[in-house]
Amino acid sequence: MAASVVRFESRTVVRRPAREVFERLADLPAYRQWMHRDGLFRRCESVSELPVREGTTYLDLTRMGRFEGRVVELVPPTRIAFSETLSWFGVALTRAEPAYVLEEDGDETVVHHTAVGELYGVMRLFRPAARWMADRERDRTLASLKRSLEQAPTTGSGA
């Protein structure tokens, strides 16, 4: 059965150097410290040994279930891309491919974020809802990234 594709594209400007933005995106275990919790995201766990590199595997635990993911591109400090699949009872329901391209502009970074999702089988029937959820989740991710890097450091937090 053919897949149904959902696409997302957005950008934001983060008032931090590209190196810091890249490091935040590449530190998978630390996502739970900065990522919003009002959407699908719950936590991210590395499966492969750290540090994160191309080929690193991880689990993205969400309200929908467990996405099994892999880092498919890692070019510090400008590009990072992922591929993740959600399966229920051994049947793939959706695959997501989020990617970030970072362009440094002085002491700011333009973050170009794209994501392509493919829905399989019965999930294809939920394409409009999936599109809405993907847009909201990707917007939340960018907002969380920006907020986490631009907020004033907390004294003694160690994070």
CB within 8 A of 97, min separation 6: which ones? 72, 81, 82, 83, 84, 115, 116, 117
Strand partners, 108: 105
Across the range 29-40, mean pLDDT stands at 80
Across the range 128-134, mean pLDDT stands at 87
| pTM of the entire predicted model | 0.88
Domains in the chain (CATH in brackets) are 4-150 (3.30.530.20)
pLDDT score at 39: 63
